[in-house]
Amino acid sequence: MNFLSELSQLHVASAIQKSAAEYIRRGFPSKQTEEWRYTSLKPLSEADLQSAVSSKLLLNTSLKIEDLKLESSAKYFRQDFFDQLSLLNPHKLQRIEIPPSKTEYIGLENIIENGEYFNSVLVIDLMPHSKLTLNCSSQVSGGFANTKIILNMEANSQCEVLASYKMFSRSFAVSTFESYQKKHATLRFISLAKGSDLLRQNISCSLLEEGASSEINGFNLLKESLSVDCNVHSNHLAPHTTSRQFFKTILSENSKSVFQGRIYIEKQSQKSDAEQLSRSLMLSKKCTVDTKPQLDVYADDVKANHGAAIGQLDANEMFYLQSRGLSKEQSLNLLISAYGLEIVDKLQSTDLRKIAKSYLSGQGDLS
């Protein structure tokens, strides 16, 4: 049974859920929707999925986890198909607060399998001067994960996030991160994805006050028929704000990557500084890359750069490694890791960097 038909039988009590049910009934966004122009949701809409029965989200933290009430949480859901899906059937709706001036670590593990789907929303409120290291790992094998994390960052808070995805066959994930950053709040976000089928990432940073900065980096290693669709928004809503977007992708076989990066600089956000760069390496003739940079700049005294490059592996590097005795496969794997290392090396937390490096070196573990 298609999981939307299962949802239609769900008992909805509250008014906001009724409107969510209404939204969902209209169906999946199609390619006519600009945001979904490059990625078809047909395989997901046809998938045979059931609502998850047990908890699929493991939270490792010493902090108190608060279960949020749906009635008071409407503000966390946008008018978006997958947000509304979470609202209609929230498996988890939680909140964690990082106390002022505290340094904390949160590990979050999301394992979806056996034809189940799972909706979760986690709100993390970072109090002033707090510091958070967040390790989110998702492993999807034959299922669908619809997860959202909202970071409300008060003044001078800092957050570093490693989001890693391992996607096995017949797997889907829609992963949404939203940050709302006040004065001098800084976010560094590193995403690593590999495997097959479909991963959609929505990453949106709203720089609300002066001095806020966000750095969004990603490395995708795609094969078979994996599609990764990254939708990254940097919203400069105050003067003197800084944003960086840097995504690297390696594609082989029939894989497909989409990078839609948007930089929005509001009229009053003078002296903002924004950069965006996407780079792709294509290892096969059958893979596809769609890159759509979008700069909406309404202030006149800002820096906003973007660039996109698509290339192939350097044959000289391949030969050099092979001439030292490394097989083609070993040479390729080393060069692939090396390509991703530039992203991984941006991590400041040694713990996260260690996790990310072992993720990179285990690149063959999905085959």
Partner 1 sequence: MLEIKNLKAQIEDNQILKGLNLKVKQGEVHAIMGPNGSGKSTLAKVISGHPDYQVTEGEVHFEVNMKQKNLLEMEPYERAREGVFLAMQYPIEVPGVSNFTLLYTAFNEICKHQGVEEMSESDFRKFVEKKCQIVGMNPSFLDRSVNEGFSGGEKKKNEILQLLVLNPRVALLDETDSGLDIDALRVVSEGVNKYKNSHNAVVLITHYQRLLDYIEPDFVHVLYKGKIIKSGDKTLALRLEKEGYDWLIKDIQ
Instruction: Print the SS3 string covering 72-98.
Output: HCHHHCCCCHHHHHHHHCCCEEEEEEE
- Outline where the chain has alpha helix (H): 3-8, 15-25, 42-45, 81-88, 315-322, 328-344, 350-361
- Return the residue of 51, 225, 337, 363 that touches partner 1, per CB under 8 A: 337
Alpha-carbon span 162 to 137, nearest angstrom: 8
- Return the residue of 53, 55, 319, 354 that touches partner 1, per CB under 8 A: 319
Alpha-carbon span 255 to 285, nearest angstrom: 10
Alpha-carbon span 141 to 115, nearest angstrom: 8
- Amino acid residing at 364: G
Choose between 301 and 325: whose C-beta lies nearer to partner 1. 325
Choose between 283 and 341: whose C-beta lies nearer to partner 1. 341
Q: Which of these ranges, 104-112, 146-154, 203-211, 322-330, lies near partner 1 under the rule CB under 8 A?
A: 322-330
Alpha-carbon span 299 to 284, nearest angstrom: 41
- Return the residue of 93, 136, 302, 321 that touches partner 1, per CB under 8 A: 321
- The nearest distance, CB 251 to partner 1, in angstroms, is 18
- The nearest distance, CB 203 to partner 1, in angstroms, is 24
- The nearest distance, CB 343 to partner 1, in angstroms, is 10
- Return the residue of 16, 310, 313, 334 that touches partner 1, per CB under 8 A: 334
Number of residues that bind partner 1 (CB under 8 A): 23
Give yes or no for residue 325 binding partner 1 (CB under 8 A). yes
For partner 1, what does the binding mask look like between residues 255 and 294, x meaning CB under 8 A? ----------------------------------------
- The nearest distance, CB 256 to partner 1, in angstroms, is 25
Give yes or no for residue 311 binding partner 1 (CB under 8 A). no
Alpha-carbon span 60 to 57, nearest angstrom: 10
Give yes or no for residue 313 binding partner 1 (CB under 8 A). no
Q: Which of these ranges, 12-20, 120-128, 195-203, 308-316, lies near partner 1 under the rule CB under 8 A?
A: 308-316
- Return the residue of 322, 346, 353, 363 that touches partner 1, per CB under 8 A: 322
Burial 65-92 (b: 16+ CB within 10 A, else e): eeebebeebeebbeebbbbbbbbbbbbb
Alpha-carbon span 108 to 91, nearest angstrom: 15
Within 341-360, the residues that bind partner 1 by CB under 8 A are 341-342
| Neighbouring residues of 32: CB distance < 8 A, sequence distance ≥ 6 | none
Interacting residue ranges for partner 1, rule: CB under 8 A: 314-317, 319-328, 330-331, 334-335, 337-339, 341-342
